[in-house]
Amino acid sequence: MRPANIPEHATAPWRRARCRQGGIGLVEILVAAAVLSIGILGIVVLQVKTIADNNSALTRTQASIAAYSLFDIMRLDRDNALTGAYNTTVTAGSCPKASGTLAEAQLRNWCLGFDAANPPPGYSDTNRPPGTQLGGLAALGSGTKGTIACSPTGANVTASNCSITLSFNDSKASGGNAAQSLTYWTQL
């Protein structure tokens, strides 16, 4: 309804201008799409960073499991551990050859990640079938080093302070170090 003192032709452009503003403009759609794209890109970057950090946490967990599994082996073979039979450096990917002593056989098994007498099907020192789950140093990747050092304590050598230092590649983590080293201690 038009006021009586305004002629009909004076209100017509006003009505037409109001009708033209009824939809969303192309510029608004482009701006909304750009904001949404930046938000999704940020989420993707955050997800990639999270996966890398989770891989680093997995590697550290596997290192703890590897160290404590060897500590348990050494507790079972305490006499050899107290005399230093386990004091050595073992490198995954170039595991020591099997020999006559129990300590050397246990170190080889620890390095390979399984009992060498019962390897997974199709496994050899140079070929690991896809999907083969390994423990020990093999779980941390080729080139991982484990240094075992036990020093007897007491006059009767009734106990020993032992350490295992694991050095591995953690460069996949965000801000990760290619040469990561963790040391674990126990008393036998």
Q: Give dist(CA 94, CA 110) in Å, integer.
A: 12
Q: Give the per-residue pLDDT at 39.
A: 96
Q: Give dist(CA 99, CA 96) in Å, integer.
A: 9
Q: Give dist(CA 17, CA 12) in Å, integer.
A: 9
Residue in 162, 135, 130 with CA at minimum distance from that of residue 147 = 162
pTM, to two decimals: 0.69
Mean pLDDT of 47-58: 88
Domain residue limits, the chain: 26-187
Mean pLDDT of 22-45: 90
Tokens of 63: 């290192």
**Residue 93: CB partners within 8 Å, gap ≥ 6?**
142, 143, 144
The Cα diameter of the chain in Å comes to 117
Residue in the structure block whose two tokens are 């009909």: 8
Q: Which of 29-43, 75-89, 92-106, 126-140 has the lowest mean pLDDT?
A: 126-140
145 or 20: which carries more pLDDT confidence?
145
Measure Cα distances from 17 to 13, 90, 184 in Å.
Answer: 6, 82, 77
**Is 60 exceeded by the pLDDT of residue 1?**
no
The β-bridge partners of 163 are 149, 185
Q: Which of 49-58, 130-139, 160-169 has the lowest mean pLDDT?
A: 130-139
Measure Cα distances from 186 to 53, 124, 181 in Å.
Answer: 28, 33, 17
Confidence band for 24, pLDDT divided at 50, 70 and 90: confident
